[in-house]
Amino acid sequence: MIRPMSEQPPESALQGAALIRDQVRRLPDSPGVYRMIGANGEVLYVGKARSLKKRVLQYAQGRFHTQRIALMVDLTRGMEFVTTRTETDALLLEINLIKQMKPRFNVLLRDDKSFPEIVIRRDHPAAQLRKHRGAHSIKGDYFGPFASANAVTRTLNTLQKAFLLRSCSDSVYEGRTRPCMLHQIKRCAAPCTGEISLVDYAALVEQAEDFLRGKSRAVMARLSSDMQTASDDMEFEQAGRLRDRIRALAAISQETQINPESLEEADVFALHADGGQACVQVFFFRAGQNWGNRAYFPRVDRTDTDEDIMGAFLGQFYDDKPIPRLILASADPTDHDLLAEAFSLKSGRKVEISQPMRGEKRQLVDHALTNAREALGRKMAETSGQGRLLAGLAEAFGLETTPERIEVYDNSHIMGTNAVGGMIVAGPEGFQKSQYRKFNIKGTDLTPGDDYGMMKEVLHRRFARMMKDEAAGEATPRPDLVLIDGGAGQLAAVMSVMEELGVEDVAVVGVAKGPDRDAGLERFFIPGKPAFMLEPKSPVLYYLQRLRDEAHRFAIGTHRTRRAMDMTRNPLDDIEGVGPGRKRALLHAFGSAKGVSRASVGDLAKVEGINAALAQRIFESFRKEPA
């Protein structure tokens, strides 16, 4: 059970160590989580304890503190506590709060996106093979994680060649009257049109599942036997198809196989820290196959030990990801036993955390460690170069300090349709893609193609939200520099928004493209200063071009996605009362939306789930005069 405790009274003038000593008098000798709060209500640190009273008292004593901890104590203006039933509950709550609040003094896992997986859907008579991210809300078998979307795409392509499973949506499946192109190029068995029976198709599905569960040798042996039988029976076309399937499986097996006898299911973590920065390389092994790796760069302090970093990283990493039976780590994480117990509770099975010292498992960890060391070296070199560029940028624009967060805005549309705005973020560590944002232009009073009005809407929404969050005492990112795509007109529009919202301490610069959009001839506009240009071969100019191009790429990509969604939207989606089930029934009855549009009211009413009133509504919806 989790029980919140009272917070520091707002009228108290105590702060720092004195405040902590005052809090200790009222704390229980029981497990729980504590939060240290700063002057503006921001959360400085989240920690867990077996005994809240004993743990918090250590902060008040002032002994064995690093300079960083001493600063944290000095900045503390309030504390919040939650008691828990066990220390394991406290650990799980601490992990969740750290990921939510991103406290300044905690080790923090950054760029924490969900990993792609492969799912074989089981909620349809003909199972579908597809890529998946997020919660396991679909009934089916999940395989992963894969380190990247590209790794999943390559595997899916190979599985389609080898097992001929469908990848189309249910609505497309129900509406087919003849096999699609994937069947023609031998990527699908076409159960939609009966080219294969559902029983035989289910056998293909089981073969694919066996392969993904690591039984690749058995699957290939079975196919090889079938190929030989077909050849003996002089069914050479069938033998050729089986040969192609075996070749596809052999290709992916050679790419991912790594001695399945010794490592069936495990994640390998290797940490290398240097100069106040750290890299954790994660390798994924499932079904005896290497499903890729990814590098992480958590926010750490020079005083953090490898054990502390590894413990904090593992806790946050598995907060929303499937946990394997075995976790191999280059450093024994702090709270090793507690983490193993928490992971076992979450996964419903025993989870082992191990720091191997010899043998093949140690070789895997050493290999990951080499990758971590090299990745951190590249990252530090890039950061160093990035720092020089940002310092040059500050000098070129007359900024008082080197910008830590740069936001770049651009709009994209075609004659005002599907208008979107894009915001990208860059800083000392390069592009921060997890911070990118898109804005669907919503203004109904905008003239189509009004770039000034679109830019004003995007900036107003972004900074109105920022000011609201700051007024509520919530931590929110504030840019040091805003770059907008445009000249004096766009700049004036944006500055009117900033003045309206009272945003006075954010530098804004307009970047106008050169004649004929030539790179190198950009002009820069700053409020109160004449427009100017940078040296044609200036590294800062190249950097600004990269920022502008990235913002344009993101905005136009978002626009294309929205336009594609509109183009593929089914007219049935806009009819009130036609949900997924009735839509499927209509498509099954008439083959396509066009077939539905040609049907009479009487024919529509014969479809299961469609009554007379709804049939009339569907009939009329296809015959409305455009406004």
Mean pLDDT of 148-158: 76
d(CA 503, CA 495): 9
Mean pLDDT of 304-320: 91
| Sole residue written with tokens 């000011």 | 467
d(CA 96, CA 315): 9
Across the chain, how many H-helices and E-strands are there? Answer: 20, 19
Which two tokens mark 363?
């070789």
Which two tokens mark 435?
């911070």
Confidence of residue 31 (pLDDT cuts 50, 70, 90): very high
Confidence of residue 350 (pLDDT cuts 50, 70, 90): very high
Which residues, at least 6 apart from 612, have a Cβ–Cβ distance to it below 8 Å? Answer: 601, 605
Give residue-wise pLDDT tens across range 524-566: 999 989 989 888 778 888 889 889 889 888 888 877 776 666 5
- Looking at residue 340, its pLDDT comes to 93
- 605 versus 186: which is more confidently predicted? 605
- Looking at residue 329, its pLDDT comes to 95
Q: What angle (nearest 5°) sits at the alpha carbon of residue 120, between those of residues 343 and 204?
A: 130
- Looking at residue 507, its pLDDT comes to 93
Give residue-wise pLDDT tens across range 80-119: 999 998 998 899 889 889 888 889 899 888 766 677 888 8
- Looking at residue 449, its pLDDT comes to 65
Give residue-wise pLDDT tens across range 238-247: 677 677 677 6
- Looking at residue 408, its pLDDT comes to 94
Q: Judge whether residue 252 has pLDDT over 60.
A: no
Confidence of residue 8 (pLDDT cuts 50, 70, 90): very low
d(CA 586, CA 154): 35
Mean pLDDT of 224-248: 73
Which two tokens mark 260?
């399945």
d(CA 337, CA 86): 14
Give residue-wise pLDDT tens across range 571-581: 777 788 888 88
Q: Give the number of other Cβ atoms within 10 Å of residue 112's Cβ.
A: 15
Please choose, from the candidates 153, 184, 187, 369, the residue with its C-alpha nearest in 3D space to the C-alpha of residue 278.
369
Per DSSP, which regions of 204-302 are E strands? 265-274, 277-286, 289-296
Contact 314, 268 (CB under 8 A): no
Q: What angle (nearest 5°) sits at the alpha carbon of residue 481, between those of residues 75 and 488?
A: 150
Give residue-wise pLDDT tens across range 380-410: 777 777 888 899 999 999 998 899 999 999 8
Which two tokens mark 145?
């994680």
pTM of the entire structure?
0.61
Instruction: Walk me through the domains of the chain, giving residue ranges and CATH numbers.
Output: 3-101 (3.40.1440.10), 117-256 (no CATH), 265-377 (3.30.420.10), 406-566 (3.30.420.340), 571-621 (1.10.150.20)
- 163 versus 253: which is more confidently predicted? 163
Mean pLDDT of 228-232: 76
Residues above pLDDT 90, as percent of the chain: 22
C-alpha distances (whole Å) from 121 to each of 140, 185, 549, 574 are 4, 23, 39, 27
Beta bridge partners of 127: none
d(CA 537, CA 353): 53
Which two tokens mark 36?
């240290």
Confidence of residue 136 (pLDDT cuts 50, 70, 90): confident
Which residues, at least 6 apart from 592, have a Cβ–Cβ distance to it below 8 Å? Answer: 175
Q: Where are the alpha helices (DSSP H) in 484-578?
A: 488-501, 539-567
- Looking at residue 255, its pLDDT comes to 46
Give residue-wise pLDDT tens across range 593-616: 777 888 888 889 988 889 988 998
Q: Judge whether residue 5 has pLDDT over 60.
A: no
- 580 versus 204: which is more confidently predicted? 204
Please choose, from the candidates 533, 491, 539, 527, the residue with its C-alpha nearest in 3D space to the C-alpha of residue 514.
533
Antiparallel, parallel or unpaired: β 277-286 and 406-414: unpaired
Amino acid in position 79:
M
d(CA 225, CA 246): 11
Please choose, from the candidates 47, 48, 60, 58, the residue with its C-alpha nearest in 3D space to the C-alpha of residue 19.
60
Which residues, at least 6 apart from 219, have a Cβ–Cβ distance to it below 8 Å? Answer: 207, 210, 211, 249
Mean pLDDT of 40-60: 90
C-alpha distances (whole Å) from 286 to each of 218, 219, 289, 352 are 17, 17, 5, 15
d(CA 375, CA 364): 17
Residues above pLDDT 70, as percent of the chain: 86
d(CA 34, CA 94): 8
Most confident of 4-18, 295-309, 464-478: 295-309
Please choose, from the candidates 550, 552, 614, the residue with its C-alpha nearest in 3D space to the C-alpha of residue 586.
614
